[in-house]
Amino acid sequence: MTTGKAYVAGVFDKVKAQNAHEPEFLQAVEEVFESLVPVFDKYPKYIEENLLERLVEPERIVSFRVPWVDDKGQVQINRGFRVQFSSAIGPYKGGLRFHPSVNQSIIKFLGFEQIFKNSLTGQPIGGGKGGSNFDPKGKSDNEIMRFCQSFMTELSKHIGADTDVPAGDIGVGGREIGYLYGQYKRLRNEYTGVLTGKGLNWGGSLARTEATGYGAVYFAEQMLKARGEDFAGKVALVSGSGNVAIYATEKLHALGAKVVAVSDSSGYVYDEDGIDVELLKDIKEVKRARIVEYANARPNAKFIPVGEGSIWDNKADLAFPCATQNELNADQAKALVANGVIAVSEGANMPSTLEAIDVFLKAGVSFGPAKAANAGGVAVSALEMAQNSQRTQWTFEEVDAKLYDIMKNIYENSAAAAKEFGAEGNLVVGANIAGFLKVADAMSSQGIV
């Protein structure tokens, strides 16, 4: 009889051969696969059904060109993607990313992660992801509108409230969601909950903006409780300065911690007095300026440009990588450990390399993997879908309470799965297994499809 280890290794060899040019996707797959060996030993029927190979192959990949006209009247061309990975437990659900780095490998890694993340929320949503190599930076509102309208003209053929419900991600905020939704409504002649992250006046949910950042903090709170600790007096580093970082910072301050550093692609700022969240919101959400403007406005804040130091070099108790994938490597993880970090909660998607995660786990640092710790955003997106279906809107407090409960349940289910399968305390293993089992059971029940 085939062992779990042999089965997983065989499938991974095939995945590597078929996707050799997709490093981000292979990294995400490897991280998950390593955790699942004991699952296949316990449930050999999943081997008989070749469930892992079925899961790792997307149900559908859509790739398309996006022509649009810039303000100079020049025709520009970008690539668009939508990977519909798994609909075993609900309609495809996952964000759209507009960034020059976007390619099929990145969209597939994000979509694969989304399967498990969405499963962990307990909501009936499958896994998908999409985006374009379009760069919103430096573009006028009219250019972004024309791009979004062209992008949605093609994407609208493949999505729907009961089929695939995209949301925002890097480069796709409220402005972009508005333009995308307006074009979808125009093309389909229907007012439906096909996108989440919508404006509050036209179907959006209160607390959706805050959800990913708040959720990462709520997850960290559970990790600290397990250590007999809380946020009071703790110093935190939060990478990034977009939506996730801003609201993680806001919630950390509300719960008694002090965030002393945030960053963007140009460098980071260190503010010994604690990051002024309202100033940060004004600079990044209103003015859309670089992080150096924060240092210019605060007397005790310092700006350290890229190449002259890392945000992770600073002494802190807590770390929240909330910027982008693979932003935190093994050397930086070692620096964090040396500087006293006791908990890391990932607000971005796969921000820590596999080697960095290994450093944290071996050092006894409480580590919240992205598919668990940053699930708050998609959890509230699912709550937005529910509100749209009911034609109602819940209060901020109602949504926030539901978000807290979801993040608490994700932690408890991940911790329980880790313990059950012989990896107590390892939330990476626990989250992967807990997320996988729900999807695997649904796939098995639905036959070989």
| Pairing mode of beta strands 318-320, 258-264 | unpaired
Q: Which among 129, 139, 251, 258 is annotated as catalytic?
A: 129
Q: Which of 173, 66, 61, 146 is nearest to 107 (CA)?
A: 61
Quote the radius of gyration of the chain (alpha carbons, Å): 21
Furthest C-alpha separation in the chain: 68
Cα dihedral 103→26→266→145 (10° resolution): 30
Is the Cβ–Cβ distance between 275 and 262 less than 8 Å?
Answer: yes
Cα dihedral 326→329→335→337 (10° resolution): 80
Q: Concatenated DSSP letters for 145-204?
A: HHHHHHHHHHHTTS-BTTTEEEEE-TT--HHHHHHHHHHHHHHH------SSS--GGGT-
Q: Which of 398, 382, 401, 387 is nearest to 167 (CA)?
A: 382
Chain centroid to CA 161: how far? 21
Phi, psi of 323 (to 5 degrees): -100, -75
| Pairing mode of beta strands 126-132, 164-168 | unpaired
Q: What residues form DSSP beta bridges with 165? A: 93
Q: Which of 284, 355, 344, 346 is nearest to 316 (CA)?
A: 344
Q: Which two tokens stand for residue 63?
A: 């790739």
Q: How far apart are CA 207 and CA 198, in angstroms?
A: 12
Q: Is 157 a catalytic residue?
A: no
Q: How far apart are CA 328 and CA 313, in angstroms?
A: 11
Q: Which two tokens stand for residue 344?
A: 């890391």
Q: How far apart are CA 137 and CA 187, in angstroms?
A: 27
Q: Which two tokens stand for residue 293?
A: 């403007």
Catalytic residue positions?
Answer: 129
